[in-house]
Amino acid sequence: MTYILSFAIFGSLYLFLAGSMGLDVADCSVYEDDDDAYELCYLADQAAQPERVSDYFHNLFLIAYPISTALMTIALYKFPITGERRRKLEILKKRSIEDIEMKGETKVTVDGDK
C-alpha cells in the first residue's frame, strides 16, 4: 500500500513540477483515426514545449529516478520483509493465484513453479 501510495504522490509531484516548468500538452486524440495527422500533432506538441521542460524530464530520468531507485533498493536490502508478515504475504499471494485459476482465466505460475 505504501509503495503504491508513494508512486501516486511522487508521480503527482513530478507532473505538478513539469506543469510549473511550462508543460502544456495538446490533445491529439481527435486525430487518432489518421496516423499521419496524429504524428504531426504529436511532433508539433513536442516542439512547442519550452526548453526547460525538456531539461526537467532529462534530469528527472537521468538523475532523480536512478537516485530514488538506488535508495529504494538500499531500503529493501536493509529492511527485508521477514517473519510473520512474510508468511502472511505468501499466503495472500497463493490465495490470489488460486482465485484467478478458479475463475478459469489462465494458469498462473510463480517463480520456481514448474
pLDDT tens per residue, the chain (114 residues)?
677 887 888 889 988 999 999 999 888 888 888 889 989 998 999 899 999 999 999 999 999 889 988 998 898 889 888 899 889 989 999 988 888 877 766 555 656 554
Q: Are residues 108 and 74 in the same domain?
A: no
> Could you tell me if 22 and 64 lie in one domain?
yes
What is the residue range of 14's domain?
2-78
Question: Considering the entire predicted model, what is its pTM?
Answer: 0.57
Residue 18 identity (one-letter amino acid)? A
Spatial neighbors of 37 by CB under 8 A, at least 6 apart, are 31
What Cα–Cα distance (Å) separates residue 109 from each residue in 13, 66, 83, 105? Answer: 36, 30, 24, 13
Q: Same domain, yes or no, for 72 and 97? A: no
